[in-house]
Amino acid sequence: MFSPITPLSFALLALIPSAIARPATSRRAANQRKCKAPVEPSCTKFATGVLSADVNGTLSPFTLVDPLGSISFKENETRPLEVEYQTCKHFTNSESSDSDIPGRLYVPEFRSCIKVLNQPDETEPYFTLLSEVCDSSFGERFVLRPEENNTIFWTGSTNSTFEQGGCGELGYRVEEDGTPVLTENGVALGCEGKPFNLVLVNTTE
Ligand SMILES: *[C@@H]1O[C@H](CO)[C@@H](O)[C@H](O)[C@H]1NC(C)=O
Ligand SMILES: *[C@@H]1O[C@H](CO)[C@@H](O)[C@H](O)[C@H]1NC(C)=O
Ligand SMILES: *[C@@H]1O[C@H](CO)[C@@H](O)[C@H](O)[C@H]1NC(C)=O
Ligand SMILES: *[C@@H]1O[C@H](CO)[C@@H](O)[C@H](O)[C@H]1NC(C)=O
């Protein structure tokens, strides 16, 4: 562990299951680190963009109710919600087609993931909150459709016997004028909801 680590040996280390490669103390440290720095090695950036609503054909950014809060929306927002769409090796979704990309929504500014807090509820509405614990649980599982204008649905728990809310593809509820319905917990997700749009931004890092 303490010998100089060359890029090659680092790459080899990465292939060894961590339980074998690390003593218990460093495993504990790694778990603590996971809470604060939630980018699991098995999850990687797929795209960066602004989470947006399609209001009458115009893409307008979502924001957060307050830092670390729920997803919210208002006209002419000056604090667009920038997210990293991350794919995770262990995300497989038997329901999805080849063009669907299962993944999670990571918010780099707050080192947190967008999570549906009341995911265990059997019926909608569902509400979001930023979570520092990016554990890739069902509350954090979304699907991105690059071939359909980069639309994103929350997929909830799809274990082939049970779909969240009875559908398995949930978007945000909309008012008659096309704007997102807002509750005291921010946007509300449901079965007849509209998908989020990811408006890609170029990152050079
Ligand atoms: C948003 O901006 C548009 C164009 O500048 C303006 O017409 C509209 O009144 C603004 N809406 C709000 C709620 O500020
Ligand atoms: C993508 O968005 C454009 C413009 O809003 C729309 O005309 C088109 O039908 C959309 N395509 C899909 C696959 O949803
Ligand atoms: C699927 O999820 C539902 C709801 O959480 C649960 O009751 C059921 O046992 C699960 N089925 C499998 C095969 O895991
Ligand atoms: C969207 O279009 C509908 C129908 O034309 C209109 O009533 C509504 O005000 C529009 N919404 C916004 C936010 O402009």
When the candidates are 2.80.10.50, 3.40.50.970, 3.40.50.150, 3.90.1280.10, the CATH number that belongs to 43-203 is: 2.80.10.50
**Beta carbon of 55 within 6 Å of any ligand 4 atom:** yes
Q: List 163's β-bridge partners, or say none.
A: 158
153: exposed, middle or buried (Cβ count in 10 Å: 0-12, 13-18, 19+): buried
| Nearest ligand 2 atom, CA 148 | 13
Domain ranges in the chain are 43-203
The structure tokens listed for 78 are: 């000056």
Of the bound ligands, which one is closest to the alpha carbon of residue 138? 3
Per-residue pLDDT of the chain (205 residues; tens, 9 = 90+): 344 434 443 343 333 333 333 333 333 333 344 444 445 568 999 999 999 999 999 999 999 988 779 999 998 889 999 999 999 887 765 555 678 899 999 999 999 999 999 998 888 999 999 999 898 888 999 999 999 999 999 988 766 666 788 888 899 999 999 999 999 999 999 999 999 999 999 866 5
pTM greater than the 0.85 cutoff: no
Phi, psi dihedrals of residue 108, rounded to the nearest 5°: -60, -40
Residue whose CA is at the smallest distance from ligand 2 atom 13: 148
DSSP assignment of 37-55 equals S---TTEEEEEEEEEEEEE
